[in-house]
């Protein structure tokens, strides 16, 4: 007797019902295991996304706070610059009230120029090219997206 024949005699021949039930339960177990792993990975990724969202929110708050502080410092520097201009005008013969009024008028003029600049640039916040591309019936060159 060779060793292969002894091993073959010890293993019972598979029956149709036993192999089907083994493979069926094995597939079911594999599917359940895969589903648990998928849920675990999804949970881990959502948890990571939540942590990164918290970190991004804190970073945004810190950036806004730093921006407010910078704006305050720049306002103080601008006031100092205006005070220097007023003192320079007073030293050159202007009355102090006229020098202050002149710097206020120049400051307001500069603010008006920036307001017009912002108003002009706000047009692009409406995504005009994207809106035009979504309305294929509009004639080309029809900039505002409204029908005539």
Better pLDDT: 145 or 134:
134
% of the chain beyond a pLDDT of 90: 55
Burial 79-109 (b: 16+ CB within 10 A, else e): eeebeebbeebeeeeeeeeebbeebeeeeee
- Inter-CA distances, 139 with 143, 145, 147, Å: 9, 9, 9
Across residues 24-42, what is the average pLDDT? 89
| pLDDT of the residue at 125 | 86
Q: Are 106 and 123 in contact (CB under 8 A)?
A: no
**Residue carrying the six token digits 């019936």:** 137
Better pLDDT: 99 or 19:
99
Across residues 51-72, what is the average pLDDT? 95
- Given pLDDT bands bounded at 50, 70 and 90, which one contains residue 106? very high
């Amino acid at each position: 007797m060779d060793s292969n024949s002894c091993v073959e005699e010890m293993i019972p021949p598979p029956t149709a019902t036993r192999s089907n039930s083994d493979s069926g339960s094995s597939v079911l177990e594999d599917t359940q295991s895969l589903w648990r792993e998928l849920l675990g990975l999804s949970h881990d990724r959502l948890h990571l996304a939540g942590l990164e969202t918290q970190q991004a929110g804190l970073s945004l708050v810190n950036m806004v706070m730093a921006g407010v502080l910078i704006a305050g410092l720049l306002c103080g520097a601008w006031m100092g610059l205006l005070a220097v201009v007023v003192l320079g005008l007073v030293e050159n013969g202007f009355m102090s009230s006229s020098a202050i009024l002149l710097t206020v008028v120049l400051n307001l003029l500069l603010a008006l120029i920036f307001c017009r600049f912002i108003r002009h640039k706000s047009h692009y916040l409406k995504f005009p090219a994207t809106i035009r591309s979504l309305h294929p019936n509009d004639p080309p060159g029809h900039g505002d997206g409204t029908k005539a």
